[in-house]
Structure 1
Amino acid sequence: MGSPRIRPDAATVVAAGLLAVIGANLLPLVGVLAWGWDLTSLLIVYWVEALATVLLAALKALFAERGSPSVPGGIEPLHELRAKRGGWQPRDGWPPIYPRNVPFALSILGFWVVTVCPLTFLYLSWVSPTAALSPSLGLSIVALLVAQASSFVSEYVGDERYRDVSAREVLRTPGLLGLVIVTLGWLGTAGRAGGLVVLAGAVLAKTGVSASRFYADRVGRPILHLGERFGGGAAFSEPPPELDVPEAAVIARVAADRRSVLLGSVGAIGFGFVHRLGLCTLAAFGFALLVRDPPLIAVTGLAVLAVVAARVLSYYLRYGTVEYRRRGDALVAYDRLLDAPQWIVSVEPTMDVSVRNAIADRLLGTGTLVVSGVDSVDRDEVRLGPVRDVDRAVERLDLPVARTDRPDRDPAAIAACAGLSLLFLAVPAGLFLTPRVETSTAVGVSVAFGPFFVLLVGVLVWAALSRI
């Protein structure tokens, strides 16, 4: 985490808040001892708390101002938005929403959908709990939700704590609560729901987790250095990745071609399913087709369309709202919607610029340039475009580009890719046309091996279109 935020005159406030957190988390212990709560009652309270925490954490992550280091080996939904700089303020007086934090917010929501929710339904079907909702249980849930909402409004937004945290920091607490729920569910399925010691121990463990997280968030270091023992001292926050615009006046502007950006987003849709949430959405849709349940097909189909729409909007936000400006000796990619520069590079004779062989550019006659060796970003290259007329853009921006033509058309490669695509598509088509194979079997094989064929055909179609 960042540097400690606590001040000597704020120690009393932190201590009072810590006592309040401990008292609120020990309230279920009263329910266990005085109101006869069982394990299912605890699960209901903690499940609602975890759900509220997850939803608020996803909302908090959108406002987090500091940068978040990359997750090693992880691919978040809409991960391409991680490269966006700047924020969008929905209205005056509100903190800005940072698109770079959207992947983290979707990641925690996706984790809840694909892990906690299925485990919850499995627990309900396995244990068949018969807990009755009592007034004390309802009162505890209402108090819990009110406390969560008031903390968000008064502390996170009112005290502007969003300025001192990153999206990765915000999303650590929901993971701990999810672990508590899974542990309690395991105790229930193991047949240990009736022990008073088990119930009291679960409440005390949950209280310790919440108190430790509260102290670490306010003070900047964990209690007893438990975070260093289990977290390996990993960094969860870094300075905001904003750039300073050069002071030189704008002498030329070239806007991105929106038609080409939208067409290019079609090729990027497939990458929207390369993560847990996307794969589970496709699997659910395939299962719905297999069982032929119209309501389930409609729901899962809408989920697939939502992923597609989110991917298209994300791609458009990445490239469609950018304007390329020449400021003195610098070339600036400026996002007009977010009012922030995305990358800056010095224009020199040795500048490494090449032409991107994009399918959308071939179909619409637009052009895209690739600039390598940009120091203002943490990736190897950045994209300039697509623009309506690449030659005119090079001239207006005065870029050291000698040739802007793309590779010539290759009819032989187009024919070969088209033939192989038809060959692969003939396999699932033959299953449905052959009378010896039942329709249910054909659907099952298609669902099981469909992603493999879609991947192969997609690569071949892309290769063919790139040679048009």
Structure 2
Amino acid sequence: MFMMTVAANVVPLVGVFHLGWSAQTFAVIYTIELVVAVPFAGLKALFARCPPNYDELERSGEDDPPKPDERGEVSVGSSDLTHRRGSVAIVDPLPPIYPRNVPFVARAFGSAVALVGMFLFVLGRFVDVPATLADPSVAASVVFLVFSHVGVVNREYFRKRRHETSTPRDVVASATTEAGLAMVVLMFAIVGGPVGALVAFVAVKLFAEWRSYRGEVPFDPEEGMGTLSPVAAPDAPPTVEVRPDRRSVRATALWWGVKSAVSGGPAYLFTWVGLTAGSVGTIAATVVCFVLLPTAIGGLKTLEYGLTHGTLAYQRRDDTVVAYDDLTETVQWVTPVDDIRDAELCEGELVDRACGTRTFSLTTFAGEYELSVAHLREYGQAVEAFELPVETTAFGPLDQRVAGAAAAVGACGVAAVAGLAYSAPTIAAVVAGFGGPFGVVALRSAWQWALPAA
């Protein structure tokens, strides 16, 4: 089997060096194969049955554990959704999907966007990638690649039941590592033009296949597997039940999606440069890179936040606070009322201030993680029913001058980029690509400055 793979990847080299085949065409096809594998890995990760290694996820973020109102800032590692218990059956022939794996899907699609931008930026120096993709034979090859990936996933992942022993991080990391390695090698091989790019892709492909054949994959599910034991809750019916306000959850989810979409500005810029260097017009490239791609990335982040908070119900059962997920029909966490050591109002929630809702972080004596009771409109009822030791449910005064100035500067920045897009699209693309992430950081700092001092 491995020798067949070697032969299949050596044939293009023989054709290019001895039969006059187009190295540009094969370089583009290899690029598409590497990039397509990443979102497919994200879709596969949805079905991974084994939880990730939570210690590794925490270490992949900041040194200090994130505060409850700051979770979600670091991709995957700080998302509360990764601790979600339970699964959902979507289609009968397929295994259930696990909501806790959605952050890994978002990571995979974000990585795919970044890889597309980098590959287009590098290959665009000597290959007209859009024109090459428009060639009927290349387009047919791309369609074949997509269908072949579907067949491989069905045969190797589902029929052999590898999803039962896989972790989502392992599935995503295996694809992103191969594509990232190809990107690094391509940087050094670019001096060889299309032929150098083809040699680089073939070398990385054979190396990855050899490691897989030898069983020396760098990410072993058995080593990266975590535990997520079921939670036992009292059988008594809930005496009190409060739910997150849907409007507040949707607005916050949209806000998180916008921030995530804007933060990917450099990847959109590299993609825009690669497309406009070829045969794609400026307007079409702008729509793809600064409208469609941000919408896709932001949409996944919006979905992630909605699944994190929008499907929960907070209940009082006997002397216990229970978080129950209506989507997976599973208890998520349980804490006795007497075990709640501290409860704190999250001052930094922008949408809570606008919608009149409240989010509380709970610290328990025995809990390993802080618990969150988010976006409650009946927060007074929750404080009384759950006996939360919170000092106040009223937000402190916000510095209106700082908040207003930050909003005005942000609006002016968006208007300036929109104006530049008509007269100087290249400058507008550069400003949007690098100014977007900077603007997110600046607005976040201004918001923290405007909040009342602790």
Provide TM-score, normalisation by structure 1.
Answer: 0.70
Residue 161 of structure 2 is matched in structure 1 by: 160
Residue 206 of structure 2 is matched in structure 1 by: 207
Mark the runs of 5 or more structure 2 residues left unpaired by the alignment: 63-73, 276-280, 418-422
Which amino acid in 1 is paired with 2:228? P
Residue 367 of structure 1 is matched in structure 2 by: 358
Which amino acid in 1 is paired with 2:164? R
Partners of 2:38 and 2:135 in 1: CA distance: 25
Residue 342 of structure 2 is matched in structure 1 by: 352
Distance 1:124 1:260, change over 3 A: closer
Q: CA deviation at 1:320?
A: 1.5
State yes or no: 1:337 paired with 2:324: no
State yes or no: 1:314 paired with 2:304: yes
**3-state DSSP class of the match of 1:87?**
coil
**3-state DSSP class of the match of 2:50?**
coil
Residue 192 of structure 2 is matched in structure 1 by: 190
Partners of 2:257 and 2:350 in 1: CA distance: 14
Residue 250 of structure 1 is matched in structure 2 by: 237
Partners of 2:325 and 2:93 in 1: CA distance: 22
From 31, 44, 47, the counterpart of 2:31: 47
Alignment check: 8 A CA contact 2:265 2:437 kept:
no
Residue 228 of structure 2 is matched in structure 1 by: 241
Mark the runs of 5 or more structure 1 residues left unpaired by the alignment: 1-19, 217-221, 433-438
**3-state DSSP class of the match of 2:393?**
coil
Q: How does 1:57-136 map to 2 (within 5 A)?
A: 57-69=41-53, 70=57, 72-73=60-61, 75-76=74-75, 80=79, 81-120=81-120, 122-126=122-126
Partners of 1:142 and 1:415 in 2: CA distance: 54
Alignment check: 8 A CA contact 1:39 1:193 kept:
yes
Which amino acid in 2 is paired with 1:239? G
Partners of 1:453 and 1:140 in 2: CA distance: 41
Alignment check: 8 A CA contact 1:260 1:386 kept:
yes
**3-state DSSP class of the match of 2:238?**
strand
Alignment check: 8 A CA contact 1:104 1:168 kept:
yes
**3-state DSSP class of the match of 2:373?**
strand
Partners of 1:274 and 1:132 in 2: CA distance: 28
Distance 1:274 1:139, change over 3 A: closer
Number of equivalent positions: 417
Q: CA deviation at 1:382?
A: 1.8
**3-state DSSP class of the match of 1:54?**
helix
* 35-44 or 167-176, which deviates more: 35-44
Q: CA deviation at 1:322?
A: 0.4
Distance 1:306 1:39, change over 3 A: closer
Partners of 1:138 and 1:401 in 2: CA distance: 62
State yes or no: 1:56 paired with 2:37: no
Q: How does 1:427-446 map to 2 (within 5 A)?
A: none
Alignment check: 8 A CA contact 1:25 1:206 kept:
no
Residue 417 of structure 1 is matched in structure 2 by: 402
Partners of 1:316 and 1:124 in 2: CA distance: 38
From 384, 397, 403, the counterpart of 2:373: 384
Q: CA deviation at 1:188?
A: 5.6
From 247, 259, 280, the counterpart of 1:259: 247
Q: CA deviation at 1:210?
A: 0.6
Partners of 1:203 and 1:360 in 2: CA distance: 50
From 268, 284, 289, the counterpart of 1:295: 284
From 26, 29, 49, the counterpart of 2:7: 26
Partners of 1:27 and 1:109 in 2: CA distance: 28
Q: CA deviation at 1:323?
A: 0.5
Partners of 2:169 and 2:282 in 1: CA distance: 39
Distance 1:124 1:270, change over 3 A: closer
**3-state DSSP class of the match of 2:338?**
coil
Partners of 2:452 and 2:2 in 1: CA distance: 59
CA offset digits 1:244-275 (Å, max 9, x no partner): 23253233322222123234345534542475
Distance 1:255 1:96, change over 3 A: same
Alignment check: 8 A CA contact 1:84 1:99 kept:
yes
Provide TM-score, normalisation by structure 2.
Answer: 0.71
Partners of 2:273 and 2:142 in 1: CA distance: 37
CA offset digits 1:313-368 (Å, max 9, x no partner): 33222111100123344322111112223322222166322333344444444333
Partners of 1:171 and 1:113 in 2: CA distance: 14
**3-state DSSP class of the match of 2:331?**
strand
Question: What RMSD over aligned residues (CA atoms) do the two structures have, in Å?
Answer: 4.9
Alignment check: 8 A CA contact 2:102 2:304 kept:
no
CA offset digits 1:3-41 (Å, max 9, x no partner): xxxxxxxxxxxxxxxxx2431332233454478357546
Q: CA deviation at 1:279?
A: 4.9
Alignment check: 8 A CA contact 1:168 1:236 kept:
no
Which amino acid in 1 is paired with 2:192? A
Alignment check: 8 A CA contact 1:256 1:385 kept:
yes
Partners of 2:443 and 2:110 in 1: CA distance: 28
Distance 1:141 1:371, change over 3 A: closer
Partners of 1:314 and 1:115 in 2: CA distance: 22
Q: CA deviation at 1:167?
A: 1.6
Q: How does 1:390-401 map to 2 (within 5 A)?
A: 390-397=379-386, 399-401=387-389
Alignment check: 8 A CA contact 1:48 1:141 kept:
yes
Alignment check: 8 A CA contact 2:343 2:389 kept:
yes
**3-state DSSP class of the match of 1:193?**
helix
Distance 1:173 1:416, change over 3 A: closer
Q: CA deviation at 1:76?
A: 2.5
Identity %: 25
